[in-house]
Structure formats: structure tokens, C-alpha cells
Chain A
Amino acid sequence: MTDLASVPLPPRRSALATLLRAFNANKIAWVGLVIIALLIFAAAFAPLLAPYDPLEQDVLDRLKPPTWDHLLGTDYYGRDTLSRLLYGARVSLVISVGATLIAMAAGAAIGMLAGWRGGRIDALIMQAMDMLLAFPSLILGLMLVAMLGPSMPNIIAAIALTSLPAFARIARAPTIALKGRDFIEAGRSLGFSDARILCGHILPNIFPEILVMGALWLANAIRTEASLAFIGLGLKPPTPTWGGMIREGFENILDSAWLAITPGVAVLVVVFAVNLLGDGLRDAIDPKLRNEA
């Protein structure tokens, strides 16, 4: 005699619920989310929020520490640090998000291709990816930008190239695992083209991992952009970039430390926030955490 009513069903969870659970378990991820939201807001509304024109110089008011007039002080040319910081946020966001998105798309495509085709192509692609990944990414980035010239597209391309191999690798393994599954076989026997299977069936399965990786590499991209600007390979002055501001501050560090440290803290806080978010996202998709108490 069966009593199926006594057999309990496992509870079903939507993606949003899983995400919320993970974020609640890892409460500090909310902090990351809030900071990033603030950053996007600040960057988007920089023209409205900035008290001064970021390019406006005032030689009488140079290298001042924070005052009521200039909340974060002024730089070597008398430009308001806060305003430059806000406009610099735009640069950082556009470049790092752009580079990460390109790396995600291109890297995932390459990884899926390698996993799907297998054989020589796979071996060749992965060797190239491994070499790229092993090479110090900052050196690679700075060589590319130095050789091609520090324009926005070039910088984005250079950072994208250094992030690309990670996405290729993370897209490849699940592709190989899924390749042999029945529903893929079924699709092929129905005559679906490779592209259709890859985009329609494999991509949705690997999307969460790629998203998490994207968050983590976004943090890297922001850091790399700032580093390049610090070395002198960022967007040319007078365009405000956080890295460039730190460089100027560094050159004048004996006169005013505020200039070097303030944008530095800004970069740090933003990278930290993105990392927190990425951590939270990763906990959300980690299968162990999903089933665990």
C-alpha cells in the first residue's frame, strides 16, 4: 500500500529567490550593490552633480585640501577634485564595462567554439588562451596601448584582450560537457545548425557562470584602466581619469597628499564594491550553496 501523500516534494526556487538567499547569507554583498548603484548614478548625472567644470582652472586656488568651497580640494591647476572625480567615474565605467562586455562576448564565443569543435582547433585555441592568460596582463595591456595609442577604443580593446582568455576557458568546459547530452543530439538530428544549438541551448546553460566571471573581471578591468592611466597610458589630459588624477597627485605628493589619495580611495572603493557583488553572485550560483542548509 503506497501512501504517496507522505512523500515530501523538494521545494522549488526561482532564480530571484536563490539570488536573494545568497545575498542574505552574504549580507555585505548588498553594500557592494548599493555602492555600485551610487557610482552609476554619480557617473550618469555628473554634469548635474558636479559643482564645477572639471576643466576649469583657477591658479589662485591650487593644491588646496578640502574646504567648504571645494569639498575634496583642488589639484595642481586649481581644478575641483570632486568634479573631476565625478567625470572620471564616467570614463572608468564606460571603459571597464565596455571592455568586460566585449571580453565576455568574444571570450564565450571562442570558448564555445573550441569546446564544440574539439580536436586540433580546440587544442590550438586553448594553447593560445593559456599563453595569453599566463602573460602578465598589465604588461600586455600597456604594450598594446603604447603601441596603438591611448584612445578610448584602443584602451577598451587592450583591456578586453587581457580579460578574454578567462571567459574562453569558463565557456569551454560546460560546452564540452553538454555536447554529449541527449537534448543536443536531438537538436542535431532535427537539423538544427551549429549556431542555433550553441546560442539557443548551450549558451543559456553557461550564462550564470559567465555572468559571475563578468562581475569579477569588471573589478579587474576598473583596476587595469586606472593602472594604465597612472602609468601615463590613459586618456590624454585634460580629460579627467582617476588613474591620471592619482598620477598628478603622486607627482605633487609632497605638497598635497589629498590629491593622490582621494582618487585612489575612490578606485579602491569601487573595485571593492564590484568584488563584493561578484562574490555574492558567485555564492548564488554555487550549487553546493544552493542545496546546503
Chain B
Amino acid sequence: MTATLPEGVAGYLLITAIALVAHESWRWAGALLGRRVRETDAAFVWVRYVSAALVAGLTMRLVLFPAGVLGEIDSHVRVISLAMAAIVYVLARNNLGLGILSGSVTMLVLAYAAKLPF
């Protein structure tokens, strides 16, 4: 299958272990802390900024250093399409569907245009 994930049941168990230890535990910790932490606490605010910066970093990583066939699209096209999604989203008063659609259409059009022989 793949280089690092074992075949069969072992693969599933490993994924489950990673999910429970590295991922689900944050939800559980949030549930436990949720009883005490107030939304205005400094620690809460800090964690919110950290998570926002982290997801923004992940977004740019996926767009600038993509895995798979997305890498075959010119990097300028990827960045312009992402910007278009964001601009339309804001102009359309946070309409998710319209934003994502605009970004995707921009990518399609530019990618096809780049293949035309001029």
C-alpha cells in the first residue's frame, strides 16, 4: 500500500491510536477545561490566536507546496485562485458556497488558458 502505514488491521489500529492520542484528546481536554475556562481568559484567547495562525499556515502550505496533482497547476494560478475565493467570499458577505465556487472556477479557467497555444 504505502511506505509507512502497515497493511490490514494493523494500519487501522495505528490510525485509531493516532486519532485518539493526538487528535481526540484535544476535544476531551476542551470538554474538561470547558467547565472552568471562561471565554475571556488570557489563556483561552492565546490558544485561539495560535490555532488561527496554525490553520492559516497549513492553508498556505497546502497551496504553495501541494501533494498530488495540484502541484501540476502553476503556483501563480493557485495563489490567484485562493485570493479570488477570499475576495468573493468577503464581497458576498461570507457566502462560503460562492467563495469556494469562484476560487475553483478561477483555477479551472486559468489552468485551461495556460494550456492554450498562444
A binds B: no
